[in-house]
Structure 1
Amino acid sequence: MPCQLWPYITPGIPDDLFERLPGIPLSKREIRLLLLAQLRLLPNTVLWDIGAGTGTIPIEVGLLCPRGQIFAVERDEEVANLIRHNCDRFEVKNVEVIEGSAPECLHNLKLAPDRVCIEGGHSIQEIMKAAWHYLQPSGRVVATAANLESLYAISQSFAQLQARNVEVIQSAVNRLETRGSSATFTAVNPIFILSGEKLD
């Protein structure tokens, strides 16, 4: 549902509308749009966002799916509070922040997911295996990789988990920025986005 800060029904909230902390990652708007497309959300989606960072994905999904339930998993207390603050800014009421380290904390989540978003992080294979265990049949996992090692680890995990309909996308985004008296295009760091579905 639209809010005062973002009164539109389309995704793609500008990055500068989110409160941030130094050193805490934020999924860039264009990357978020690709992630949301790969999640293939349902009106009543139950999403686990593991490694929620600034909270951009939970907030976008919360606005798009007001009947859904989103669990934002974040291990750092200060960052978890940042997610809560951003949820308040966007008047999102259907996001629950879970403080803890994945995969150990995942058993504390009250609802089994039909969508899981994993944004980077250590122990990616262990996290994917644990999340897959809880994932509903026909559910989807979408994971991001910023380097070759993560790309390989996620690909290997999907193969071991016998995921179907696996897709891999690499982003290539440039933004127009003003530098001095001229406007130039600046590349957004490329990200691999991998997605796969669980068999019925």
Structure 2
Amino acid sequence: MQFGIKDEEFIRGKVPMTKAEIRAMVMVKAAIQPGDIVADIGAGTGSLSIEAALCCPKGAVYSIERNPEGIELIRKNAEKFGCRNIHTIAGTAPEAMEGLPKMDVIIIGGSSGNMHEILDRCEALLAPGGRIILTAVTVETTGEVVKEFADRPFELEGFEMQINRLRKLGRYHLYDPMSPIFIFTAIKH
């Protein structure tokens, strides 16, 4: 499976989207198998949901998004990429997580200030060996994640990525930096 579908391939609006290089690394860390059940919390345009759904054709992806424009973009992108295994849930986590089946992988791209409650729900939904992949773009979220996992039954690891794309300017190529992002992987004991 090749990860990191080109950003231009997705139908986009004003909703933030995880960029291709970051999606590729999130998918590597998620290690999604063909029959896995996955949740994408704060799914935005659905770019990670699409990549996840392509990895688990015999499984399912539950995309949770509170923004109505995002919900519509997830549906349009799922249709464009032929992902019939995506179930879109309009709402805010953790309330929107009620009724979800047991999960193999949970991707968290946004918490709307509900990190503690979301992680409580994730802990209940994941079997031993289940994985949470969490991205953080602010220092505050990074610190909150480290603190939140201090007393939970998870093995936590993380790293920061800084991506520079090349941008042509005349006969030169400039570095075009993207904001750094911290990627956490938490595996349940």
Give the TM-score normalised by the residue count of structure 1. 0.89
The answer on whether the counterparts of 1:12 and 1:30 sit within 8 Å (CA) in structure 2 is yes
The answer on whether the counterparts of 2:39 and 2:63 sit within 8 Å (CA) in structure 1 is yes
Q: Are 2:123 and 1:132 equivalent residues in the alignment?
A: yes
Shift of 1:181: 5.2
Secondary structure class of the residue paired with 1:71: strand
**Distance in 1 separating the partners of 2:69 and 2:178:** 26
Residues 23-62 of structure 1 mapped to structure 2, 5 A cutoff: 24-62=15-53
Q: Are 2:106 and 1:116 equivalent residues in the alignment?
A: yes
Q: Aligned residue pairs: how many?
A: 188
Per the alignment, residue 184 of structure 1 pairs with 174
Which of these residues, 7, 13, 16, is aligned with residue 15 of structure 1? 7
Shift of 1:180: 5.0
Shift of 1:63: 1.3
Which of these residues, 145, 149, 157, is aligned with residue 167 of structure 1? 157
Q: Per-residue CA shift, 1:128-149, capped at 9, x if unaligned?
A: 1211111122101111111111
The answer on whether the counterparts of 2:13 and 2:69 sit within 8 Å (CA) in structure 1 is no
Secondary structure class of the residue paired with 1:132: helix
The answer on whether the counterparts of 1:120 and 1:150 sit within 8 Å (CA) in structure 2 is no
For structure 2, list consecutive stretches of 5 or more residues without a partner in the other structure.
none
Q: Per-residue CA shift, 1:97-151, capped at 9, x if unaligned?
A: 0111100121132x21110000033222221121111112210111111111100
Shift of 1:178: 2.1
The answer on whether the counterparts of 1:144 and 1:192 sit within 8 Å (CA) in structure 2 is yes
The answer on whether the counterparts of 1:11 and 1:64 sit within 8 Å (CA) in structure 2 is no
**Distance in 2 separating the partners of 1:158 and 1:35:** 19
Secondary structure class of the residue paired with 1:125: helix
Give the TM-score normalised by the residue count of structure 2. 0.94
The answer on whether the counterparts of 2:107 and 2:134 sit within 8 Å (CA) in structure 1 is yes
Q: Are 2:65 and 1:74 equivalent residues in the alignment?
A: yes
The answer on whether the counterparts of 1:129 and 1:157 sit within 8 Å (CA) in structure 2 is no
Larger strand proportion, structure 1 or 2?
Answer: 2
**Distance in 1 separating the partners of 2:5 and 2:96:** 29
Shift of 1:152: 0.9
Which of these residues, 78, 84, 96, is aligned with residue 87 of structure 1? 78
